[in-house]
A and B are shown apart, each in its own frame.
Chain A
Amino acid sequence: MKYARLLLANLSRKKIRTTLTIGSFAVALLLFGILSAVRTAFSQGADIAGVDRLVVRNKTSIIQPLPFSYRDRMLRIPGVKEVTYLNWFGGIYQDERNFFPQMAIDVPTYRKVVTDIGVTDAEWKAFEADRQGAIAGEDIAKRFNWKVGDHIPIRGVIFQGPWEFNLRGISTGESNAGSLLPFMFHEDYLEERRAFGKGTVGWYTLRIDNPENSTRISKAIDEEFSNSPFETKSDSEKEFAASWGKQLGNIKLIIMTIGAVVFVTLLLVTGNTMATAIRERVRELAVLKAVGFSDPFVLWLVLAEGLTIAAIGGVLGLILAVVLIPGISRALAGLLPPLVLLPRDTALGLVFAIGAGIFSTILPATSAMRLRVVDALRRV
């Protein structure tokens, strides 16, 4: 620590360059932070989907319904603990741009399958008691500034006409990592008013006894309904969530490839600047060695300089990312689920920054360490 002043003096030797280098690191890490959050949003839900849950949908496509009668037939399949069903509502709140997922859920069974949706028991009771009750994910509620008790009109598009809901609860979900919690309301209410497709459901979600059996149970279900007018396709909830992300496919891949290339380039360019800064000072380092400092000391001094710059820049960039992400998330509302920077990605970013700091200084530092003092002093 007693050399802190020397380190500081080295850093402030060319203040502008040091500032710009720190700035470049910050920019690289800011970009890293934002892209990590976008990546998480693209793989929406796949990370948090329950492992002990299966989704059963119509084999032809998700927009084709399944009959209600499948519920009891599925319950008879060994390993299936609970079955609930959902319907995609797809209405419009005020304006088309305000897209958010809306689902009709079977209230008596839903919480038996999705055990923790992050609402208090009091909220759930109020929701159960109100036929027009609804529960909104916290991100949706925040976006439209809804409070419990609010009256929410939604214009039905698939199920036409005006629909009215009373907000009875705001859910925080099992974990809010990058997935948009839907707006949920009573299936009974939908069933009563829908003009077509009565007695059908959008898809089933079921809880099974053991995640290890999921393949066997999926197969058993699909076999049970094969050769019927409504064939099914069963997947674990994780695969179901991931299948949506996969369809976005190339866009995600392209953005991520671009991001990765850019990030690496930024780090390389910054590293190059740092390396040049050290090469310029070989003579000074030789002087240090001439007055008696050891080789490893010189190495550490130079490394410490690189590390300081990288760490300050990296932390700054990540702080900026944390500050800016909510704003970006708002700009992308309705296009992507809310952006969240996971702690895992923050740590990874710091590792990259510090790694780049070490990598770009270690080569000039070792060559400075190995250099014979006489040769170095003779250099101009």
Chain B
Amino acid sequence: MPIPLTYNLRSIRVRWASTIVAVLGIAGTVGVFVAMMSLAKGFKATLVASGSPNNALVRRAGSTSEMDSGFNLEQVKILQDAKGIARDADGPLVSPEVVVIAAFPLKSTGTDANVQVRGVSPRVLKVRDQVKIVAGRFFNPGLNELVVGSNVDKAYIGFDLGQKVLFGGGTWTVVGVFDAGGSAFDSELWCDATVLNDVYKRPTNIFQSATAKLTSPAALTDLKDTLSADPRVTVQADREIEYYEKQSRVVTSLITVLGTIVASIMAVGAIFGALNTMYSAIAERGREIATMRALGFGAAAVVISFVFEAACIALIGGVIGCVGVLPLNGLTTGTMNWQTFSHLAFAFKITPTLMLGGIIFALFMGILGGVAPAVRAARANVATALREL
């Protein structure tokens, strides 16, 4: 017959002071684990949200990112006529783009950070339909005008609507703000590709990438086939979402590896804490345990009972840890994206799955810290334990 669970729950309440050590240890570990993973998740989500399954990103074959890609207008023309590209009344939905970076001072520290400047086609809003102008207007083709992502004005000095911005040897006017739904574009400046090439003294009609809207997500295969069969082009097409997912790899794995290392070391510490708490709990309750054994509860029942108690303590710790880091959810922070050398704003993203993972992690630590003391409790000699003070 099992020992009633209320016995353990009431013990925890009575002995709360010595339980706190274990609870804090586990709460801290779970908190760190969830925070680090949500950071990695948020970064990845920001980049992945930049891509759409319905879009293809075309760049020079073999290039690692837009930064080191390049092709000419002739190849763009071939791409525009390729199979699988969506069209509207004005022609194919393709935005050939140029990407450079420029340094601007951050509001938070006053030090410079690199901002990605994207020269786009005037038709870009039709291609990337998740991007919406929320203030001002879109730039006029051929003019030195900028539309800025919604994070840019928040993060950098001097990007208010109507303000003049100097970079790359040109003077630009901020004419609009766009919202890209929390994606990487929100940290970018957009302008006319032709103007950008001109100001940066790059050869005209050279583009680094082209984003094309597909007739359907499945049309990517058609596009790939057409492009690889055509000897005039040396480009590769990827689904936009996959391209951005790959871009997030370095930072995501950096945070994940570091987070895992820190959390596993802390887990060892937390298990020590749980062991300490449970050992002293059992030492203090030697007579109680012996009494229960004398009443006829089996050794297995005692083991289960104490493992359950440890798991309860761990659960409390796990919940406190998860709730403790919850305010971080949605908090925006920034780091450098190594693939493009540019600064990227992103938010912590705490998901239910992540919190569930944290709780399971806590239970794991609690059970690991509870088994050895529980076995020791069950093994004690009933007669001697009863005689103890």
Chain A interface (Cβ within 8 Å of chain B)?
16-17, 20-21, 23-24, 27-28, 30-31, 34-35, 38, 59-64, 90, 92, 96, 99, 155, 157-158, 160, 229, 231, 233, 243-244, 246-251, 254-255, 258-259, 261-262, 265-266, 269, 272-273, 276, 328, 331-332, 334-336
Contact = CB atoms under 8 A, between A and B. Distances in A.
B286 interface: no
B68 interface: yes
Contact of B341 (A62, A158, A249, A335): A62
Nearest to A258: B32
Contacts of B336: 244, 247-249
B111 interface: yes
B265 A20 contact: no
Nearest to A264: B28
Contacts of B273: 24, 269
Given A27-B265, A63-B341, A247-B343, A20 B334 contact: no
B169 A231 contact: yes
Nearest to A335: B254
Nearest to B108: A249
Contacts of A17: 276, 279-280
Q: Which residue, of A17, A60, A276, has the highest number of chain B Cβ atoms within 10 A?
A: A60
Contacts of A157: 62-64, 68
Given A31-B262, A262-B32, 8 more contacts: A60-B103, A96-B64, A157-B68, A246-B111, A247-B113, A266-B25, A269-B24, A332-B257
A92 B103 CA distance: 26
B16 interface: no
B101 A63 contact: yes
Given A17-B279, A248-B336, A269 B64 contact: no
A234 to B, nearest CB: 13
A343 to B, nearest CB: 22
A251 B335 contact: yes
Nearest to B283: A14
Contact of B169 (A23, A92, A229, A276): A229
A46 B51 CA distance: 36
B258 A254 contact: no
23 contacts: A20-B276, A27-B266, A27-B272, A34-B261, A38-B258, A60-B100, A60-B167, A61-B100, A92-B64, A155-B62, A157-B62, A157-B64, A158-B68, A247-B336, A248-B336, A249-B334, A249-B336, A250-B334, A251-B335, A255-B36, A259-B262, A262-B262, A269-B21
Contact of B35 (A64, A258, A266): A258
A356 to B, nearest CB: 14
B253 interface: yes
Interface in B95-126: 100-103, 106, 108-109, 111-114
Taking residues whose C-beta sits less than 8 angstroms from the other chain, chain B's interface range is 35 or more
A265 B111 CA distance: 33
Nearest to B333: A250
A244 B106 CA distance: 14
A17 B100 CA distance: 60
A194 to B, nearest CB: 13
B141 interface: no
Q: Which residue, of A99, A231, A262, has the highest number of chain B Cβ atoms within 10 A?
A: A262
B262 A35 contact: yes
SS of B interface (majority): helix
Interface in B251-290: 251, 253-255, 257-258, 261-262, 265-266, 268-269, 272-273, 275-276, 279-280
A96 B61 CA distance: 14
A16 B279 contact: yes
B261 A265 contact: no
B232 interface: no
Nearest to B32: A258
A247 to B, nearest CB: 4
Interface string B312-335: 000000000000000000000111
A345 B75 CA distance: 56
A259 B18 CA distance: 25
A247 B113 CA distance: 6
A306 B334 CA distance: 43
Contacts of B258: 38, 255, 332
Contacts of B262: 31, 34-35, 255, 258-259, 262
B250 interface: yes
A44 B333 CA distance: 21
B343 A24 contact: no
A20 B272 contact: yes
B25 A269 contact: yes
A373 B106 CA distance: 64
A63 B100 CA distance: 8
Contacts of B36: 255, 258
A335 B251 CA distance: 8
Given A247-B336, A250-B335, A30 B265 contact: yes
A21 B257 contact: no
A223 to B, nearest CB: 17
Contacts of B101: 61-63
A141 B169 CA distance: 41
Contacts of B24: 265, 269
Q: Which 5 A-B pairs have the closest CB atoms?
A: A27-B269, A247-B336, A250-B333, A335-B254, A61-B101
B354 to A, nearest CB: 16
Nearest to A62: B341
A31 B111 contact: no
A367 B67 CA distance: 67
Nearest to B112: A243
B136 interface: no
Contacts of A334: 250
Nearest to A276: B18
Contact of B103 (A20, A38, A61): A61
B119 to A, nearest CB: 14
Contacts of B387: none
Contacts of A231: 169
A247 B342 CA distance: 9
B237 interface: no
A60 B276 contact: no
Contacts of A276: 18
B167 A273 contact: no
Contacts of B251: 251
A336 B254 contact: yes
Contacts of A262: 28, 32, 262, 266
B168 interface: yes
Nearest to A88: B341
Contacts of A269: 21, 24-25, 273
Q: Which residue, of B67, B112, B113, B261, has the highest number of chain A Cβ atoms within 10 A?
A: B261
Contacts of A62: 101, 114, 341
A158 B353 CA distance: 41
Interface string B294-316: 00000000000000000000000
